[in-house]
Copies of this chain bind each other. A is one copy, B any other.
Amino acid sequence: MNYGIGIDLGGTQIKGGFFDLKKGKMLAKDSVDSRDGDWEGNVPAFGVEARGLVDSLEKKAKKEAEIAGVSAPGLARRDGSAIASLPNRLDGLEGFVWADVLGKPGAVLNDAHAALMGELWQGGAKGLRDVVLLTLGTGVGGAIVADGKLLRGNIGRAGHLGHLSIDFHSEMRTICGAPGGLEDFVGNHNIVERTGGRFGTTLALVEAVAGGKDEEAERIWDESMRALAAAISSIANVIDPQVVLIGGGISKAWKQIEPRVSHWLDEFEWRPGGARVELRRAELGEWAGAYGAVYNATIQQGMVDE
């Protein structure tokens, strides 16, 4: 087993990478529009586009891939054949059997799970046995590796850390129904409401904070980082990882994240024998899903041990 392809299906784009599996290196990459809602005959357009990516990547790399893994939103079947559940988006994805259209053996995995598997293979979680990923973006995603293995759970839902209730009296409900869930205090999706209309994006808020003269921005950001720290302290107590890896678009504000979360963790975190959870930035950025997709495929096809 020398070469493989990782496909990362998003709502607007499909990214693909061609990998040297032994070296863990991406030799070629490409991306196309995901055309959510379109069909070509009885195949959703994203399937046809993904198949096209496989072909174009093999041409670019001038090599043939023996395996193709997929990262996609939704809850994956345990056997990796398809996404079992994703309501209201990417019509046709539920039950879509990837191997049929990609023409190669592989497996599909939830996108946050895939991002962590990518980081575990070649990124910021390399060599770790117990590690949790939090992705801070539109919402908050997450994934857990415990004792070296991806924690999937009974229906593939494990790791949805954005839906951790950190304020159970709150009237807010996450899209999954969680009262006062982490992503409603940290995600970009409600930043306009959280800032009384002052900021359109979290990164604009952070810029104002970095300026040092905007007390209201400071207060809003501190509330958000306090919420994140409370969630990380809960993760430490319940999952007990060595490292919490932080990724997603908002993680670009690392200089405004790390010291503030650390400050609140000094107050919240249980540190038996001085042990403390290490905060780290994710390393693979927007390509983490492609890395994780192909790595997971090699595991699910029994080519490497987890």
Contact = CB atoms under 8 A, between A and B. Distances in A.
Contacts of A238: 142, 144, 158-161, 163-164, 238-239
Given A155-B275, A158-B238, A176 B270 contact: yes
Interface in A146-193: 146-147, 149, 151-161, 163-169, 176-180
B154 A130 contact: yes
A85 to B, nearest CB: 5
Given A240-B155, A242-B154, A85 B273 contact: yes
A40 interface: no
A128 to B, nearest CB: 9
B272 A177 contact: no
A158 B241 CA distance: 8
16 contacts: A142-B238, A146-B153, A146-B158, A147-B151, A151-B151, A158-B240, A159-B238, A161-B237, A163-B233, A163-B237, A165-B233, A165-B234, A166-B166, A176-B270, A177-B269, A238-B238
